[in-house]
Amino acid sequence: MHTQIHMGTKTISIMDDVYELLVKNRHKDESFSDVIRKNLSKSNDVMEVVGLWSDLSPDEFRIIEKTVSRLRNSKRAYL
């Protein structure tokens, strides 16, 4: 049994700066649809990054922690 999937196409209008972003983020073998799909399907699940910093020294971790805190506080000042 052979199943074919026919995908439709849509024409959309985008601003020139967005088009340039697509061009910059596209690899040689990718379509614009691939670039959009890749970027819109990125997960924001924190569990995907658990353990990434496990090899940091305590001093390095404290520096990152202070930097994040400072950035959060400065961002709140604009809200």
Domains: count for the chain: 1
Tokens (6 digits) for 51? 């353990």
pTM of the model: 0.46
- Model pLDDT for residues 6-17, shown as the tens digit of each residue: 678 889 999 999
pLDDT on residue 52: 76
Contacts of 32 (CB under 8 A, 6+ apart): 22, 26
- Quick check: is 7 in a domain? no
pLDDT of residue 53: 72
Question: 73 to each of 7, 44, 66, 77, how far by Cα in Å?
Answer: 46, 22, 11, 7
Inside any domain, residue 60:
yes
Question: Residue 79 above 60 pLDDT?
Answer: no
Encode pLDDT of 16-66 as tens digits. 999 999 999 999 999 999 999 888 887 777 677 777 777 888 899 889 889
Residue 41 lies in a domain: yes
Does residue 4 lie in a domain region? no
